[in-house]
Structure 1
Amino acid sequence: KFWFQNRRTQMKTQQERHENVILRQENEKLRAENGFLKDAMRSPVCNNCGGAVIPGEVSYEQQQQLRIENAKLKDELDRICALANRFIGG
């Protein structure tokens, strides 16, 4: 191998480690947000009047927000799995 191939490999590894750190931080942030939302769903409060919300009633906006969050979480899971496969698979 030539010196530049080793350097390129080192830089790629360093970049992957940095990306891994960023993904872990983002994952922790999403987990914290998810926990906050789960707690909020345990005792829902109406945004308009502050009263209790009847379970099962989910507004269209809330449904859209949940769909967006689910898509983000699925994408995050796919990225983490791909990254893990890169490290495990070689």
Structure 2
Amino acid sequence: MDWMAWTWPTAVFFLIIAGTLIVFTVLAIKYPETPRTGVLRIETTRGDRLFITLLGSAFINLAWLGLLGAPQWGALIVSFFYAIAVFRWV
């Protein structure tokens, strides 16, 4: 798998995503929830909000790279606040 250029940051990223999915699966089993309607006026569950967060964070990071070219720490901070907003209001 040399062609994939696996680095420690890449491995950590995928481990964090896998860990998040495991935690959300355990939460769904232990604490079932009912869908809620937020600002998007669609019913969402925890998993839906996680998907929206991951997708939006990917776009934030791509836009950060394309438009600013600055270190990714700033995009990480913006993505963190985006995640808080999604889980709070969506």
TM-score (norm 2): 0.37
Structure richer in strand, relative to its length:
2
Which structure: larger Rg?
Answer: 1
Structure richer in helix, relative to its length:
1
